[in-house]
Amino acid sequence: MPITLHSHSGQFCGHAHGTLVDVVKTAQEKGFRVLGLSEHVPRYRAQDLYDEERHLDPKALESTFEAYVTEARRLQKEYSTDNFTVLVGAETEYIHADSLTQMAALQKRYDLDYLVGSVHHVNEIPIDYSPALYDQALVSCGNSLEALFAQYFDHQYELITALHPQVIGHFDLCRLLVPRDHPLMTELSPALLAKVNRNIDAVVSYGGLFEVNSRAYKKGLPEAYPQRDILEIIKAKGGRFTLSDDSHGPNDVALHYAELYRYLKEMDVRTVYYIGTKATGVSSPNWPIALDKLFEGSPWGQ
């Protein structure tokens, strides 16, 4: 009975596919224990819209998010059972100085079950949308990958300390479009490691979870986010892991979970965690489950 605390649908995300109800039904049919719905929070400026959104006014994204929460709460009520929990959350953004204030207000307004704390921008430029935009972000950092990574981890730290998200999304997303043979793919400089350690310590201090995100395999990375150098640090510091498929539609639910299971086994991660609903206390201690038990009898745990 696997879990995922990070998912999207084409109904509420322009670069995903399928409906939210189909994501829920697919997870239930595949025997999931917990499904976290986590559509992206709105972006409030026209310059922050992605290509598929250029025809929209930013206000439309706010309306879309409101519609998402309404539908997600309906599905949570209809499909949650003793054996299958649907959570209603959101995935954050950090684009500019006001992003964290906007996110805190959104969380308060909708009383979300949890947050996936993610960073997708450096110097207000998306770093995971296309190689062209990644190159723009790199130029904004003086064509220095070291500087781009440093800025990314600084943004991540600000988000972590301001919002205390229950789940940290794709910790090292900054590696996505880096050449696979670049040294930073496997070994960070002392200065970057200091930032990574700082961020991990901050999350451990309030009991947040680090997702191990299988979408990295679909994107062509050798391992799930985070790559093994960072995962080893999290583990050494007593950080707690959860699982995410970061699905972008029903066809992605549990995608690459067999590889995810093997990766965690290889890294000797024996226990993962999940969270509950408001009714059970979302701010209470996270609930552990043995990795082998979670995947026992599933097609991904062979």
Residue 149's pLDDT is 98
- What does the alpha-carbon distance between residue 171 and residue 196 come to, in Å, rounded to a whole number? 9
Residues 174/155, Cβ–Cβ less than 8 Å? no
- Least confident stretch, 29-43, 185-199, 281-295: 281-295
- The pLDDT assigned to 282 comes to 45
Q: What is the pLDDT, as a whole number, of residue 278?
A: 53
Task: Please report the domains of the chain, with CATH numbers, ordered by start residue.
Answer: 3-295 (3.20.20.140)
Q: Quick one: angle between helices 145-163 and 99-110, nearest 10? A: 40
Lookup: tokens for 34: 């917990």
Range with the poorest average pLDDT among 48-52, 184-188, 206-210, 261-265: 48-52
State the Cα angle at 162 between 192 and 177, rounded to 5°: 40
Give the per-residue pLDDT at 277.
61
**DSSP states of 65-116:** HHHHHHHHHHHHHHH--SS-EEEEEEE----STTHHHHHHHHHHHHT-SEEE
More confident residue, 75 or 51: 75
CB-CB contact of 213 with 242 (8 Å): no
pTM summary value = 0.95
Taking only the tens place, the pLDDT of each residue in 229-272 is 999 999 999 999 999 999 999 999 999 999 999 999 999 999 99
The residue ranking higher by pLDDT, 210 or 278, is: 210
Q: What confidence score (pLDDT) does residue 152 get?
A: 98
**Whether the predicted pLDDT of 284 surpasses 50:** no
Q: Are the C-beta atoms of 209 and 215 separated by less than 8 Å?
A: no
